[in-house]
Amino acid sequence: MTRRTTAGPERPRRRGRPKGRAVLADRSQLLAAAERAIASVGTDVTMDQIAAEAAVTKPILYRTIGDRDAVIDAMSDVLVDRIVEEIAAFRSTGTAPRDAFRAAVSAYLSAVGAHRDLYLFVNAAGQRMGPLRRRIDRSSRTIIDVFEAAAGGLGTTTSPLTWSHSIIGALQIVTLMWIESDDIETDRPRRTVEDLADDFTHLLWPGVEAILAAARVDPTAGPDEPSDD
């Protein structure tokens, strides 16, 4: 005789990922989707389009990253990370300061050129002071690092942040005009990365060289003592 058993009540399913569904995208996956959407749609990409690219609902996008300003901030950090990595890859021990400066400029332009859509998205979306300052400070710190070894410590009367901010600010405008020239019809040939690196170095190096020369002078040394003769 076979004993029959009566099935008990079905246990309620635990909250969380639905059975058979993929794990919801994490922050890095959502940022990657945002970058794809930016490349596909352009600087006017919407949160709906980013969510669609990531195959998640918009509430998940908001909960994981935040609103559109938060997406801009996050993509700004992604862009700066890539610029910093590119500049670091160009650095080499024993490089003459002028060559190091040109290499840093070339690396910056190369990184932006490789991520043109992302650069335009970050800059076209407005410049809120907090995130803008963070981006400039991080980029400026990289420029300072390029020269600290060459100068033996940048102990000058001019703040290193002042001139590094000036360099980054000038680079920002030059780069923006350069990459936007793709969308403007002109009879003039488009400037290459190497052309712009040469132009920028020729323009700014004399001022940077003077700063480096001043940094090699001991800032604690007083004026020459008068001779007894």
Instruction: Note the Cα 208 to chain centre separation in Å.
Output: 23
Residue type, 75: M
Taking the C-alpha atoms of residue 116 and residue 38, their distance in angstroms, rounded to an integer, is 10
Residue type, 32: A
Which range is most confident: 20-24, 42-46, 206-210? 42-46
Taking the C-alpha atoms of residue 90 and residue 43, their distance in angstroms, rounded to an integer, is 29
Query: In the chain, what are the domains?
Result: 23-66 (1.10.10), 72-215 (1.10.357.10)
Taking the C-alpha atoms of residue 9 and residue 128, their distance in angstroms, rounded to an integer, is 57
Tell me, what's the pLDDT at 65?
Answer: 95
Q: Token pair 């020459």 is at which residue?
A: 224
Q: What is the largest CA-CA distance in the chain?
A: 128
Tell me, what's the pLDDT at 224?
Answer: 47
HSE on the CB side for 119, CA within 13 Å?
Answer: 22
DSSP assigned state of 128: -
Q: For residue 89, give every residue at least 6 positions away whose Cβ sits within 8 Å of its Cβ, in sequence order, or none.
A: 107
Do 58 and 51 meet the contact criterion of CB atoms below 8 Å apart? yes
pLDDT band of residue 84 (cuts 50, 70, 90) is: confident
- Of 146 and 93, more confident: 146
Taking the C-alpha atoms of residue 151 and residue 143, their distance in angstroms, rounded to an integer, is 13
Q: What is the 3-state secondary structure (H, E, C) of 71-96?
A: HHHHHHHHHHHHHHHHHHHHCCCCCC
User: For residue range 186-196, what is the model confidence (pLDDT) as tens digits?
Assistant: 556 678 899 99
Do 78 and 35 meet the contact criterion of CB atoms below 8 Å apart? yes
User: Is pLDDT of 48 > 90?
Assistant: yes
Tell me, what's the pLDDT at 75?
Answer: 92
User: For residue range 105-118, what is the model confidence (pLDDT) as tens digits?
Assistant: 898 899 989 999 99
pLDDT band of residue 40 (cuts 50, 70, 90) is: very high
Task: Pick left, alpha or beta for residue 94 (phi over 0 → left; psi -120 to 50 → alpha; otherwise beta).
Answer: left
Taking the C-alpha atoms of residue 73 and residue 135, their distance in angstroms, rounded to an integer, is 9
The mean of the pLDDT values for the chain is 75
